[in-house]
């Protein structure tokens, strides 16, 4: 009888430890913290705009259309300024593949990322880009805050990049 209880307790412990590790691994995969500390990552928290009764003034400074790289990626993107703050806005026609485990939105120094890299993955070189945030969703409109310490003149395109496999899903060259 005691052996039976010990077996039940032992098996229960193994199941609980296994589940705790799975939850821990899933949370680590969803975290915007870089796996490799040499890759620059910015942690952005969204803040709602204050409602002052007036719509904030929006000024579009750059825009572009996504072209496919590793995966089919479509849609338009723009860099806007609202009340002195910069935002990257992806429009509602955006769509990319759901096959990436660690997709992030980046700003890249090159204006032609796809043609400056090699298929099939269109891999990126450290120092050529900066990560803004994890991709919020695979399709539809989304907005990302751009930190004020970023010199937008240094970046000529936007990309959807799989950090885990260094695969560029798609990019959009920015023009005024």
pLDDT tens figures, 4-37: 665 566 655 564 545 444 444 444 444 343 344 3
Write the class of the CATH domain 58-173. mainly beta
> How far is 174 from 159, CA to CA, in rounded Å?
11
Q: Hey, where are the domains in the chain?
A: 1-30, 58-173
Dihedral sign for Cα 158, 108, 173, 156, please.
positive
Contact 92, 141 (CB under 8 A): yes
pLDDT tens figures, 101-149: 899 999 999 999 988 888 877 889 899 999 999 999 999 999 999 999 9
């Amino acid at each position: 009888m005691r052996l039976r209880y010990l077996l039940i307790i032992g098996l229960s412990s193994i199941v609980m430890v296994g589940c705790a590790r799975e939850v821990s691994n899933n949370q680590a995969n969803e975290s915007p913290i870089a796996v490799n500390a040499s890759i620059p990552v910015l942690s952005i928290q969204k803040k709602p705009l204050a409602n002052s009764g007036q719509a904030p003034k929006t000024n579009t400074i750059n825009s572009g259309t996504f072209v496919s790289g590793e995966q089919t990626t479509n849609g338009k993107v723009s860099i806007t300024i609202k009340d002195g703050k910069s935002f990257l806005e992806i429009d509602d026609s955006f769509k990319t593949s759901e096959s990436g485990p660690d997709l992030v939105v980046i700003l890249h120094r090159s204006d032609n990322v796809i043609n400056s890299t090699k298929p099939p993955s269109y891999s990126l070189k450290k120092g050529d880009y900066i990560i803004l945030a994890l991709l919020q969703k695979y399709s539809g409109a989304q907005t990302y805050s751009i930190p004020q310490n970023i010199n937008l003149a240094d970046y000529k395109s936007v990309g959807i990049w799989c950090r885990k496999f260094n695969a560029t899903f798609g990019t959009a060259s920015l023009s005024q």
